[in-house]
Amino acid sequence: MSMPARMPRRSGIRGGEAASGWLFTAPMIILLGMFLVIPVLMALWVSFSDWNGRGSPFSGSVAFVGLDNYSALVGGGGLAEQDFGTALRNNAWYVLLVVPIQTMLSLFLAVLVNRQILRGRGFFRTAFYFPSVTSSVAITVLWLFLFSASGAVNKLLSFIGVNGPNWFNDPSGVLHNIFGAFGVETGPAALTDNTFLGISFWEWLAGPSVAMSAFILMAVFTTSGTFMLLFIAALQNLSGDVAEAAVMDGANGWQRFWQVTLPQLRPTLFTVVTLGLIGAWQVFDQIYTGTQGGPGKTTLTPAYLSYQAAFTNQAWGQGAAIAFILFVIIVVFTLFQRWLLVERTVSARRMRLYLQTPTSGGSK
Amino acid sequence: MTTTVRARMRPSTASQRLHDLSRPQLPTSAIAGRSLLYAILIVLAMIYIAPFLVQVATSFKTDVEAATNPISLLPQTWSTAAYERLFLNSDFPIWFQNSAIVTVFVTLGRVFFNSLAGYALARLHFRGRNVIFALLIAVMSVPGVVLLIPKFLVINQLGIYDTYVAMIVPLLTDAAGVFIMKNFFESIPASVEEQARIDGAGNFRVFWSIVLPMARPALVTIIILSFQGSWNELSHFIVATQSPELTTLTKGVASLASGQLSQGTQYPLKLAAAAIMTIPVAVMFFIFQKRIMNTTDGSVKE
């Protein structure tokens, strides 16, 4: 009599897990398939086609053009290649500055406001997080005002005697301006005569334009709060035991941070840098709302260029191709930082530990 | 040398130490450090808050004053012209309504689907789990902006272009949210659930009545991120809709910012629009603020 009653629980207390597992994940899998995987495959086809936006991209009139759309971007020698090179240059400088600054700033803010004995802790956290809740559209509108020629930022700069630039209308590169301050107006022939993706090496070294710098400041301003919260959550989840042990061992605050807290934060650091990289490579909203790529195409980004090619110029194949190249860039960067942050540091430290253990243990 | 110096100084330092022990007080270096900390925090907070104060102040200024005096926090002549124009003389209320509809549905959907999938990936053992997780990571690295053209293609192909369905359903995909929930479920001890399982609760029951209440901090994170994400979403609506009746706040205000630059700057109008579109996310944030800031309260401590 007891046998049938036990039947449903035959597989133990973890019964029906396979079915539940698939059932629980099914909605997300279906959604991701419908609106992510299938669309990407469709776009992949479009990137190999000459579809001009009329009718279905799968109709017979749309021709397969192989890698034409891609080769026009990376070696065509025309305007497409030049625009793509410019967009990559602009975004590369943006990433190079935004990701490290926002990561360090958010960790710094998190450590500052995570102290148990801090008056106004809630106020400070709110203040730092608030810019993160605003939309990129709203903040861009605000930034256009603050950084306008006679705007608040230039007004503040004038108080300390600095004649501020006409931010969003200034296409000059920041590094070029610094070189210029030392009297170097044009680069050596080796840099100006050789090109990569239709842009001379000297132009690659222009740095972010003044207009792009305003966007860089904006990105740091709006994202540091989000990442600060991630770091705070991680700091609060740290067990106090390890820190206490370090105190007992005589480590000071600085040592505790670098050698005890930071290694424990590595998963969060990985998350923050990954999200930062992914976000910084797809600058779109700000450009769409603010500058549309200007001045002098110095705020053109691959994401905006892709949109513009497809939706404005009806060059859908080229737009899709730009998107896929951008995709590859982001994946490569993510893998690279993963290798840099996870594999290397961990294995090096572990290795040292492993090497030390036998000698100190003296088991052999 | 040092030993003799130390030996000579020992009596005085010893008594000093005794004195310190009897009446603990902060050394001056700690007080200086503390003051420096507060100074840094206050300056940083001012930098983070000032732009928004300037924004609100400017939205009540006249066009002329906004240009001549961009930094003052008190308008010389208060003007509500910008707000009157937005609410009485533009599509702004429609934009607001559309943003609200989309945000509510997307947030509810994401909270449910993310936690469900996150729980399964963290706790349920089933064949294919690692494959799903690997795919999720792969999908997470697919940047949203790269999906502009693909999304348009599929929305077009499905015949839902320019509808609420096209605005809402694609936004329910949120691999990062699943990832957050999975990470959270892995960080809480399994002992409570094991107990419930031994008592005979099924997987969904364990998830719904045991795990989900414990996951409140992570759920708040998801709610905040989803609300914020869908309220602030721009690019998806650009490719999913075209009709004015389906324009959201982000799309509308962006057109305001880029389209009307040629007709004079109109900063008060634009800043007023931007300020109003910030209010809902700000309110939402202040409601959940306490829960965001105290993430570990109420959970099981090891």
Q: Is residue A264 part of a domain?
A: yes
pLDDT digits (tens, 9 = 90+) for A209-259: 999 999 999 999 999 988 998 898 888 888 777 777 877 887 777 888 888
Q: How many CB atoms lie within 10 A of CB A292?
A: 14
Contact A31 B273 (CB under 8 A): no
Higher pLDDT among residues B174 and B291, named by residue: B174
Mean pLDDT of chain A: 83
Q: Which residue in the set B125, B149, B295 is minimally distant from A17, CB to CB? A: B125
Q: Is the model's pLDDT at A345 over the cut of 60?
A: no
Residue A56 resides in a domain? no
CATH code of the domain in which A336 resides: 1.10.3720.10
Name the A residues in 238-257 with CB < 8 Å from any B CB.
239
Structural domain includes residue A135: yes
pLDDT at A353: 59
Share of chain A above pLDDT 90, in %: 28
What is the structure's pLDDT at B301? 33
In a domain, A174, yes or no: yes
B45/A128 CB distance under 8 A: yes
- Closest C-alpha to A131, from B227, B276, B278, B289: B278
Chain A residues in contact with B153 (beta carbon < 8 A) = 39, 42-43, 46, 57
pLDDT grade, residue A18 (50/70/90)? confident
Q: Does A67 touch chain B (CB under 8 A)?
A: no
**0.85 surpassed by complex ipTM:** no
Domain range list for chain B = 25-79, 86-293
Query: Mutating which of B92, B107, B115, B149 best tests the A interface, going by the most A Cβ atoms within 10 A?
Result: B149
* Confidence at A309, pLDDT banded by 50, 70, 90: very high
- Write out residues 183-202 of A within 8 Å (CB-CB) of B: none
A310 at B interface, C-beta within 8 A:
yes
Cα–Cα distances (Å) from B22 to A55, A192, B18, in that order, read 86, 73, 6
Write out the two tokens for B30.
Answer: 């700690």
Give yes or no for residue B12 having a pLDDT over 50: no
Continuous segment of H or E residues that includes residue A303: helix A302-307
pTM exceeds cut of 0.90: no
3-state SS class at A116 = coil
- How close, in Å, is residue A4 to chain B by CA atoms? 16
pLDDT in tens, B89-103: 888 999 999 999 999
Domain total in chain A = 1
The alpha carbon of residue B101 is apart from the nearest alpha carbon of chain A, in Å, by 17
| Probe site for chain A from B145, B161, B238 (most A CB atoms < 10 A) | B145
Q: Tell me whether residues A152 and B144 touch, CB distance under 8 A.
A: no
**Residue in chain A nearest B156 by alpha carbon:** A56
Say if the Cβ atoms of B132 and A142 lie within 8 Å: no
Q: The domain containing residue A318 runs over which residues? A: 68-343
Minimum Cα–Cα distance from B125: chain A residue: A17
Give domain status of residue A333, yes or no: yes
Higher-scoring residue by pLDDT: B144, A81: A81
A51, pLDDT greater than 70: yes
Determine whether the interchain pair A237/B296 forms a contact, defined as Cβ–Cβ distance below 8 Å.
Answer: yes
Mean pLDDT of B238-257: 91
**Chain B contact for A151, CB < 8 A?**
yes
Taking the CA of residue B260 and the nearest CA in chain A, the distance in Å comes to 11
Query: So what's the pLDDT on residue B263?
Result: 56
The secondary structure of chain B as a DSSP string is -HHHHHHHHHHHHHHHHHHHHHS----HHHHHHHHHHHHHHHHHHHHHHHHHHHHHHHHTS-HHHHHH-SS-SS-SS---HHHHHHHHSSSHHHHHHHHHHHHHHHHHHHHHHHHHHHHHHHH---TTHHHHHHHHHHHHTS-GGGGHHHHHHHHHHHT-TTSHHHHHGGGG--HHHHHHHHHHHHHS-THHHHHHHHTT--HHHIIIIIIHHHTHHHHHHHHHHHHHHHHS--HHHHHH--SGGG--HHHHHHHHHHHGGGG---HHHHHHHHHHHHHHHHHHHHHHHHHHH-TTTTSPP-
Nearest-Cα distance to chain A for B68, in Å, is: 8
Q: How many CB pairs under 8 A join A and B?
A: 291
Closest chain B CA to residue A268: B183
Length of chain B in residues, anyone? 302
A293-302, A323-332, B13-22, B179-188: least confidently modelled range: B13-22
B175 CB-near residues (< 8 Å, 6+ apart): A28, A32, B136, B137, B139, B140
Among A6, A47, A48, A134, the strongest candidate for a mutation testing the B interface, having the largest count of B CBs within 10 A, is A134
Architecture of the CATH domain B86-293: Orthogonal Bundle (1.10)
Q: Is residue A26 part of a domain?
A: no
Residue A84 has what pLDDT?
A: 92
Does residue A28 belong to any structural domain of this protein?
A: no
Q: Is residue A47 part of a domain?
A: no
Residue B270 and residue A173 in contact, taking contact as beta carbons nearer than 8 Å: no
CB contact under 8 A, A237 and B187: yes
